[in-house]
Amino acid sequence: MTDTSIDLLALTTTQMVEFLATMGEPAFRARQIARQLYVNLVDDIQQMTDLSLALRQKLTNHARIGSLSLQRVVSADNSLTHKALFNLPTGELIESVLMIYPDRATVCVSTQAGCAMGCTFCATGRLGLLRNLESHHIVEQVLWARRTLRQLQRQHPATPPRATHTQDGDEWWGTDGGHPDALPQTLGNVVFMGMGEPFANYDRWWQAVERLHDPQGLNIGARGLTVSTVGLVPGIKRLADEALQINLAISLHAPNDALRSAMMPVNKRWNIAELMATTRAYVAKTGRRVSFEYVLLQGQNDSPAHAAELAEQIGDLLCHVNLIPWNPVPGLPLGRSDRQRVLAFQRVLQEERVPCTVRVERGVSIAAACGQLAGATITGP
């Protein structure tokens, strides 16, 4: 049976006012409902206790909260990483990942089910594009993360955090198998780096960005929002014209066209020269630093010569390079760059004065890390 009720998360403020008017309710009720949804994080209309019983019943009869069906949640990294599997109303699966750090909490959300970009090292790309997500599907993933963090906070009351230092100087909680002493107080970061290419679903994705930033919504600052693209030039140009300046990350992964085209089919449409020209124009127009993501594959794109070529491509840009040792995907005959090669690659960039860090990977054991999300549909030996 088809669900004909209205998803409250799908309504803008104007649409909420109009919907309430059909029930004879005043406009200010929309603000009350928004506060319940995005501040109190209710997932049941009957929990909206500042509304009358009569109104709650009317809403229950005609509306619902959310359209995603949570199938399961798996955790890793001493319960600092949580991956959720959701079922869309049309049956497709998507995944989201909540990552908790000493000073912040970040959720990685999907913008599509599957992906049409076909990057050879990515599990999502093996699915092809299944469908675009609606803006409220994206917002709902963030709400799940905020609810999960709130639940964890109740389980682990805040006390002064205990930080340790790894051999690379990264601050981190102790690795003795226990839970950290304190949790961040809020979810302040959303990265659009899950399943799908955000710029291939630009309109719906941007509607979600505005909802997340809205003071009457989740009220997440622009600096806490980061979008990752494989290099869709029209999307980068469009983002440069947006009034809301969120962070831009570009998946580069190779320093020359021959190698990048073999790894990323999108390069045959917009090659590195065009991508770099567009990126320079973006930086000039916005004054914002760009991040370049670079997945390191053993023996393919991770030599010192590749690093020197990369530095030549981007050395004059206001940018930062995020080095990501490839995360295993079942069925793909690729190798993860070993530590020695990763650090050698990083040293070359540093010597060329290109800012770069090696990403601290999270959730590899539960297929929640970069490039591993596939809606639990990719299997292998």
pLDDT at 377: 55
Q: pLDDT-based confidence at 163, cuts 50/70/90?
A: very low
CATH placement of domain 69-366: 3.20.20.70
pLDDT at 168: 34
Q: What would the pLDDT profile of 106-124 be if each residue is shown by its tens digit?
A: 999 999 999 999 999 998 9
How many Cα atoms within 13 Å fall on the side-chain side of residue 346? 18
Distance CA 35, CA 41 (A): 8
CATH of 6-64, one of 3.10.450.50, 2.60.40.420, 1.10.150.530, 3.40.1160.10: 1.10.150.530
What is the CA angle 111-324-143, rounded to 5? 30
Q: What are phi and psi of 33, to 5 degrees?
A: -65, -40
Distance CA 252, CA 267 (A): 10
Q: Are 185 and 102 in contact (CB under 8 A)?
A: no
DSSP state of 174: -
Distance CA 207, CA 89 (A): 20
pLDDT at 120: 92
In the block, tokens 């089919």 appear at 265
Contacts of 378 (CB under 8 A, 6+ apart): 123, 126, 127, 329, 330, 331
For 318-373, strand residue ranges (E) read 319-325, 356-358
For the chain, strand residue ranges (E) read 6-7, 63-64, 69-76, 81-87, 93-100, 105-108, 112-115, 128-132, 163-165, 171-173, 189-192, 225-229, 247-251, 290-296, 319-325, 356-358
Report the catalytic residues.
Answer: 95, 370
Buried b vs exposed e over 160-185: b needs ≥16 C-beta within 10 Å? eeeeeeeeeeeeebeeeeeebbbbbe
Q: Are 7 and 64 in contact (CB under 8 A)?
A: yes
**Per-domain boundaries in the chain:** 6-64, 69-366
Q: What would the pLDDT profile of 316-370 be if each residue is shown by its tens digit?
A: 999 999 999 988 888 888 888 999 999 999 999 999 999 999 988 788 777 766 8
Global pTM? 0.91
pLDDT at 129: 96
